[in-house]
Amino acid sequence: MDVGVDVSDRKRPEAPGDVDRHLDEMFNRLAGTGAAGRRALAEVEDHLRDAVADELTQGVPARQAERNAVARFGPPARIAGQLRRTHRVASGAVMLSGAWLLIGLAALMLAAIRLAKTLDVAIQLRLHPERLPRCVEQGTDPVPDGIAACGVDVLTGNGSARTGVIMLLLAVVLLASRWLAIRLAGLAPVPRRFPLLVAALVAASGIFLFLLHPITPYGQHLVGARGGVPFGWTGLWHQIIVSGLTLLTALITVGGYLVRTRQTRAREE
Amino acid sequence: MELRGHLDLLLLGTLHQTGPVHGYALIVALRDRSDGAFKLPEGTVYPALHRLERDGLIDSEWYTGKPRRRRVYRLTPSGAAALTAKRREWRTFARGVQAIVEPDVREGWA
């Protein structure tokens, strides 16, 4: 087959020098280490090329310069092993840091949902104050007037409000302790793409919250509808607000990630 | 001279003196400033740099220059604080060793 190349003119490939052989071995030994390994390999190549260039300026012959640079660098097995160990520990620390942040954010979101529900109930009670005495008299969960049942929760400090405050405190403790652990104990920050995971989870939870609640207003309340059983006595407007807020949070998170990525790229260029 | 246990201090100290610098230049600076006293495989510096970066004591980014782009390292505020603490530890350690190894030569170790 004619491939348009004069084979007789083709030079025999040059035998790889010591530096290339060293880099090949590092490449093999760093296989599977992902971005950290690629970065390390790039640094090793920079280092060896610089070292050879230094030797050449001192009049050392090329082959000898490569041999010296590789000898001073150290055996690939040892260096690659140390790099692997460093990044194995690092990936464990990053997972811990990510899980810590995720639990903190989940607690924050639960707090927001429970407090929003409390607010929902408080507003409904304000709109329908005539139902409150009936509920207090019954002292139980009056199914037809679910809102009033929640009103008892609000007034006695039980249920949503209490859970919301506890979750809020938990979130503050988790997020503040993680911030301190990063500042004082050198806990690894999360990977650059972590916000995308958070955004996906937050968006999914927003959709989940909206879809699992009945959209049709129930009974005589126009928008303060009785919610589905798993979520208690929340109204439709509450669902819309909570779902909207979670989706907005997801969009802001993705936007922040894109801006940060663009800034980092601009800085690197 | 064996460097085990002191590499972090030496790297932080050298970075403090040189300012932002890439790996090879850092190793050359370490070699030159110590008059070649330390014999270490140069490659072992990179795992140490990556570890210091993981611990937040230094940070790094790609810097596009000639003839090629390089990873440039710099000391973080946490790294500067760690360097101060490690210097203090080093002085205590050196004073103790000096007092035992050369008890008659204690001048200059105040």
Subunit contact B71:A50, Cβ cutoff 8 A: no
Q: Which residues of chain A have pLDDT under 50?
A: 1-5, 7, 9, 133-157, 214-233
Quick check: B9 pLDDT over 60? yes
Q: Convert the pLDDT of each residue in B25-69 to its tens digit.
A: 999 999 888 887 877 789 999 999 999 998 888 999 988 877 778
A83 CA to chain B: closest CA distance, Å? Answer: 5
- Cβ separation of B43 and A73 shorter than 8 Å? yes
Nearest CA-CA distance, residue B15 and chain A, Å: 17
Q: Are A43 and B46 in contact (CB < 8 Å)?
A: yes
pLDDT at A205: 74
**Interface contact A40-B51, CB threshold 8 A:** no
Put simply, the answer to whether A44 touches B43 (Cβ < 8 Å) is yes
Which regions of B65-110 does DSSP assign to beta strands (E)? 70-75
Task: Convert the pLDDT of each residue in B14-25 to its tens digit.
Answer: 999 999 999 999
Report pLDDT for A22: 93
What is the structure's pLDDT at A7? 47
Which chain A positions have a beta carbon within 8 Å of B51's beta carbon? 86
pLDDT at residue number A5: 45
pLDDT of residue A1: 43
Q: What is the pLDDT of residue B3?
A: 60
Q: How far is CA A207 from CA A241, A244, A250, B3, B66, in A?
A: 12, 9, 11, 57, 51
Tokens of B3: 């460097």
At A236 the pLDDT is 60
- ipTM of the shown complex: 0.85
Give the pLDDT of residue A36.
85
Tokens representing A65? 């310069």
Cα A183 to Cα A90, A231, B78, B84: the distances in Å are 16, 38, 8, 16
Q: What pLDDT is stored for residue A186 in this prediction? A: 63
Residue B48's pLDDT is 93
Contacts B57 to A, Cβ<8 Å: 186
Residue B83's pLDDT band (cuts 50, 70, 90): very high
CB contact under 8 A, A82 and B62: no
Residue among B44, B50, B54 whose CB faces A93 most closely = B54
Q: Is the pLDDT of residue B87 over 50?
A: yes
Give percent of chain B with pLDDT exceeding 90. Answer: 45
Q: Which residues of B touch A93 (CB under 8 A)?
A: 54
- Side chain identity at B8, as an amino acid letter? D
Q: Does any CB of chain A come closer than 8 Å to the CB of residue B32?
A: no
Which chain A residues are Cβ-neighbours of B62 within 8 angstroms?
268
Task: Identify residue A105 by its one-letter amino acid code.
Answer: L
